[in-house]
Amino acid sequence: MTETFGTRYVAALAERGQFCVGIDPHASLLHDWGLDDTVAGLEKFALSAVEAVAPYCSVIKPQSAFYERFGSRGVAVLERVIAESRAAGALVLLDVKRGDIGSTSQAYADAYLDPASPLASDAITVSPYLGFGSLQPFVDAARVHRAGLFVLAATSNKEGPEVQEAVTAEGRTVSATMLDHLRELNAGETPLGSYGAVVGATIDGSGLDFAFNGPILAPGYGEQGGTTADIRRIFGASAPYVAASSSRGVLRQGPDAGPMRAAVERANDELRGLGG
């Protein structure tokens, strides 16, 4: 890659819209499609979904856990999901939420960001809750490989505030501190930095400054209650840099490709006003 992830991300959202589709093969969704909860069912489900939506959305976000539960054969399917989504022109944000220290973080970074790896993606999700500095191997790998990171910052799960709204010795919440770190990493980058945040599409958001010059992933859009109005309310002037994410709201429309594709088009239409 010669362009940074931030550059590719801005171009993708401008060309294909701000909707991100999660390819998350829940057992219940496989059953809804008339498929068995097996590797064969996983493969049919995931690759059919990719074929239906990857040419029409800016970002595909596979959740690694739903592939890993099948062991090595499931991971092999994930490799194909990544490769075929990218071949269709979508950016791939691999949802792995990894976070560790030292050589272990480096190994994770090599696995998911080094182009030599079959799991290499455009960006990954990471957890900073061993301290933001523990992410340095990911930060360095993203810089070398022109990839991106999405750091958990303000999530919408009910357990999140226990950590994310705790106040540091400097009087800042942990969430605000994470955004401060991202602001430093993205300083001076144009058109956008490559270090992003994961922020729930249904949070309150007051007291947080999302002007950190980076991409934002907002899960919880659509079926989980998040709306375009919420995106505008939470993120304000940073709303054009948000990829609003949904999984089940699209995948429930399958197995026929047409309804899944139509769901992507509707979401992109709803989000279009955020870009300007």
pLDDT (tens place) for every residue of the chain, 276 residues total: 689 999 999 999 999 999 999 999 999 999 999 999 999 999 999 999 999 999 999 999 999 999 999 999 999 999 999 999 999 999 999 999 999 999 999 999 999 999 999 999 999 999 999 999 999 999 999 999 999 999 999 999 999 999 999 999 999 999 999 999 999 999 999 999 999 999 999 998 888 999 999 999 999 998 888 899 999 999 999 999 999 999 999 999 999 999 999 999 999 999 998 875
195 φ, ψ (degrees, to nearest 5): -110, 110
Q: Hey, which residues are catalytic here?
A: 97
Give all strands (DSSP E) within the chain, no chain letters.
Answer: 19-23, 59-62, 91-98, 123-126, 148-154, 195-199, 216-219, 242-246
What is the domain count for the chain? Answer: 1
**What's the pLDDT score for residue 276?**
58
C-alpha pair distances (Å), 56 with each of 13, 17, 47, 88, 90: 11, 9, 15, 9, 8
Half-sphere exposure of 100 (CA within 13 A, CB side): 10
Domain containing 137 equals 5-270
Q: Are 166 and 173 in contact (CB under 8 A)?
A: yes
The runs of H, that is alpha helices, within 23-134 are 27-32, 39-53, 65-68, 72-87, 102-113
Stated pTM of the model:
0.97
Contacts of 71 (CB under 8 A, 6+ apart): none
The runs of H, that is alpha helices, within 165-247 are 174-186, 228-235
Token output for 81: 């999901």
Residue 275: inside a domain = no
In angstroms and rounded to an integer, the radius of gyration of the C-alpha atoms of the chain is 18
The CB density around residue 94, as the number of other CB atoms within 10 Å, is 25
Residue 69: inside a domain = yes
Token output for 59: 């970002």
CATH code, domain carrying 159: 3.20.20.70
First-to-last C-alpha distance (Å) of the chain: 28
Residue 137: inside a domain = yes
Residue 276: inside a domain = no
Length of the chain: 276
